[in-house]
Amino acid sequence: MSMDRVAWSSLYNITRASNGSKPFSKELLKRVFGFARPHRSRLVAFVLLSIVMAVLAVATPVLAGQVVDAIIAKADAGTVIWLAILIAVVAVAEAGLGLVTRWLSSSIGEGVILDLRTKVFDHVQKMPIAFFTRTRTGALVSRLNNDVIGAQAAFAGTLSGVVSNVVALALTLVVMLNKSWLVTVLAMILLPIFLLPARRMGSRLAELRREAAEHNATMGTQMTERFSAPGATLVKLFGRPDEESREFALRAGRVRDIGVRTAMLQFTFVTALTLVSALALALVYGLGGWLALGGQLAAGDVVVLALLLTRLYAPLTALSNARVEIMSALVSFERVFEILDLKPLISQKPDAVESPRGPLSVEFDDVRFSYPSADKVSLASLEDVSTLDTRGGEEVLHGISFRVEPGQTVALVGSSGAGKSTIAQLLARLYDVDSGAVRFGGVTPGKGVDVRDLTFDSMRETLGMVTQDGHLFHESVASNLRLARPDATEEEMWEAIRQARLEAMIRSLPDGLDTVVGERGYRLSGGERQRLTIARLLIAQPRVVILDEATAALDSTNEAAVQAALGAALEGRTAVVIAHRLSTVRAADAILVVEDGRIVERGTHTELLAAEGRYAELYRTQFNEATAVAQEAVPEL
C-alpha cells in the first residue's frame, strides 16, 4: 500500500467513528451474535484467512530484506532469483486470498442484512393499524434501510477490520522489534503526536457529515412531498413557491459550504499523516543507516524496517477508532431491535379456527373499547415527537350491543365522532375490544365465534370493508383487484367490474386491466376509484360487508353510480353500513343511532321517526343537508 492510500484509509477509519459512547448490555451483544450464528462457518473461515493474509503481508518486506542482504553478501544469482519467485508467489497468493476474504466478508454482511430486513419487514407487517396511524412512513423506511445497513457494517467492516488489523499490527511489530527495537520505538513515538489532533478532527468531520445528512434529508422530504401530484396541487393553490425556493436554496448552500469544509479537513488530515509517516521513514533510514554503518544492523534489516513502517500506521489509526466504530454499529442494531421488540397488539391465536360456513350473523356483545395510547403501539423516534403521548386510553365505546341477522343490513347513524368508524374497525378486527366480544355466526345470541379466535386468513375471507378513501396501490387494475383474491380469473374480474358499474371505464383505459392506476389511484376520479375498491370487495365475495361512509366524498353523479355498485355489494350479505345518505339508511333492516359511544336508539326508519327522538332530529338536519350538498354536483379537481 502506498503512503497516500494508507493516509486515505486511515481518514476513512477515523471519521467513521461518530456516535458518542454508551455502555451496551451483554444481552444486546448476545442478540447481535445470534444474527451471526447462521454464518458461523464462513465467519471462522474469514478470521483464519485474515490471519494468513496478515502473515503474507509481513512476508514480502522480510523477503525484500533478504534480497538486499544476499546482494551485499554477493551470494549467487540462484538465491536472488528464488527469493524473487517467492515474492511473486506471495503476491499471487495475497491477491487470490484477498478475493476470497472479500467474498466471505461481503456475503456475511449481506446475509445479515437479508436476515434483518426480512425480519423487520415481517414484523412491521404484523403491527396493528394503530402503529401506522402514528408513525411517519419516512422515519420507518429509513429505519428499515439505514439502520439495517449500519448494523451490517458491524460484520462486514468492523469485524474484518479489527481481526486483520490486530493480527497485522502484532506481526509487524514483532518483526520490527526483532530487527531493531530502538528504531521501532523512535519511529512509533511520532504517531501519537499526530493521532491526538486527528481524533478531534475526526469527530468534527463526523459532525459536519451528520449536519449535511440532516439537510439532505429535509430537502429530500421537501421534494418528495411537494413533487407528488397532490402536494404539487396544494402548493399551486396555497403555497408560497418563492419562500419554498428560498428555504431550499439556503439548505443547499449550507450543504455546499459543508462540502468544501469537509474536503479541506480531509485533505489536511491526509497531508499531515503522509508527512508524519514520511518523517518517520526519514528517521528509519537515518538511524537505521547509521546503525548499519556501525555494523549493528544488516542493510537488509533497514529495508525491512522501512517497508514495514508503512504497514504500521493504517492498522494503528484504524484500531484507535475500533471501539467507537463498534459502538455505532451496535447503536444501529439497537435501533433495529427496538422495532423488532414492539409487540403486535393483535395476533393470531395458536389454536385459531375458521369462521363457520354459510351465511353469518354479526354480534356485538357489551363491547367497551379505548384506543391504545401511543406508548403502547409506537416509538418516539418514529413519530415527530421526543416523548410519547401516554394520554389517550379514554373509553370511546361504552357497552355496545347489537345483532345483525344473516343477510340483513344494519345502518349506523350519529354525529361525527360518535364512534361509528370505531365499531366498524372492531368488527374488522383492526383493533381488539377491551371487554365484551365481537362474534360471527351463531343462531342463538352469544354462540358465535369470537373474531379473536379466527385465523387471519379466515377473517380476510369472511369480511370486506369499503371506506371513504378507498386506497389503491400504484399497480395495474388487475393486480389491485387480485389483492382480494390472487387466483381470480379474468372473467371473474370483469364480472366484478360489471357489477361495480365500471365496465365502460376500464374498457376505455389504454391497457385495459393492465393499466397502472397512479399512487392513491390519482389518475382515477374519486367515484371511479371508489367503484374499483367495490369491485375488489366483490371479487373477494365476503359474507360480511362493512361500508364506512363509502359515498361521503363523492359528488352526486358519481354517487349514483357508486350506490348502484354498492347495491350489488350488499346483496345477500350481512352488512353494517355507515351512511350519510338517507336512501341507504331507509333501506336498512334496522337503524342504530350512536352518540358518544352508546347506542341511544334503535328501530326501523318509520319507528324511529315516529319516536321523535335523536333520529328524527338527525333526519331533519344531517340527512337533508347531506342530500342538498350531494345534489349540487361539485366539479371534480
Ligand X SMILES: Nc1ncnc2c1ncn2[C@@H]1O[C@H](COP(=O)(O)OP(=O)(O)O)[C@@H](O)[C@H]1O
Contacting positions for ligand X (CB under 6 A): 133, 371, 392, 396, 414, 416-422
Residue 489: is it exposed, middle or buried by C-beta count within 10 angstroms (0-12/13-18/19+)?
A: exposed
508, interface contact from Mg ion, ligand X, none, CB < 5-8 Å by kind: none
464, interface contact from Mg ion, ligand X, none, CB < 5-8 Å by kind: none
How far, in Å, CA of 373 to CA of 513, rounded?
A: 42
Q: Which residues bind Mg ion (CB under 5 A)?
A: 421
Would strands 574-578 and 544-548 be described as parallel, antiparallel, or unpaired?
A: parallel
State which residue, 137 or 416, has the beta carbon closest to ligand X: 416
Q: In whole angstroms, how close is the CB of 631 to Mg ion at the nearest point?
A: 22
522, interface contact from ligand X, Mg ion, none, CB < 5-8 Å by kind: none
418, interface contact from ligand X, Mg ion, none, CB < 5-8 Å by kind: ligand X
Q: In whole angstroms, how close is the CB of 382 to Mg ion at the nearest point?
A: 25
How far, in Å, CA of 318 to CA of 312, rounded?
A: 10
State which residue, 373 or 515, has the beta carbon closest to ligand X: 373
Q: 235 by DSSP, 3-state: which? A: helix
State which residue, 169 or 593, has the beta carbon closest to ligand X: 593
State which residue, 33 or 132, has the beta carbon closest to ligand X: 132
State which residue, 493 or 562, has the beta carbon closest to Mg ion: 562
479, interface contact from ligand X, Mg ion, none, CB < 5-8 Å by kind: none
197, interface contact from Mg ion, ligand X, none, CB < 5-8 Å by kind: none
Q: In whole angstroms, how close is the CB of 371 to ligand X at the nearest point?
A: 3
Contacts 24+ apart (CB under 8 A), 516-522: 516/474, 516/475, 516/476, 517/472, 517/474, 517/475, 517/476, 517/477, 517/480, 518/229, 518/474, 519/228, 519/229, 519/474, 520/230, 520/471, 520/472, 521/470, 521/471, 521/472, 522/229, 522/230
Q: In whole angstroms, how close is the CB of 45 to ligand X at the nearest point?
A: 51
Residue 465 host element (H or E): strand 463-466
Q: In whole angstroms, how close is the CB of 383 to ligand X at the nearest point?
A: 13
Residue nearest to Mg ion as judged by C-beta position: 421
Q: In whole angstroms, how close is the CB of 345 to ligand X at the nearest point?
A: 13
Q: Pick the closest to residue 303 from 51, 78, 83 (CA basis).
A: 83
DSSP letter for each residue of 148-207:
HHHHHHIIIIIIHHHHHHHHHHHHHHHHHHHH-HHHHHHHHHHHHHHHHHHHHHHHHHHH
State which residue, 416 or 444, has the beta carbon closest to ligand X: 416
Q: In whole angstroms, how close is the CB of 562 to ligand X at the nearest point?
A: 19
State which residue, 58 or 466, has the beta carbon closest to Mg ion: 466
Strands in 449-450's sheet, in edge-to-edge order, are: 395-404, 362-370, 435-440, 449-450
320, interface contact from Mg ion, ligand X, none, CB < 5-8 Å by kind: none
Q: 472 by DSSP, 3-state: which? A: coil
Most distant pair of Cα atoms in the chain: their distance? 123
Q: In whole angstroms, how close is the CB of 609 to ligand X at the nearest point?
A: 21
State which residue, 309 or 465, has the beta carbon closest to Mg ion: 465
Residue nearest to ligand X as judged by C-beta position: 421
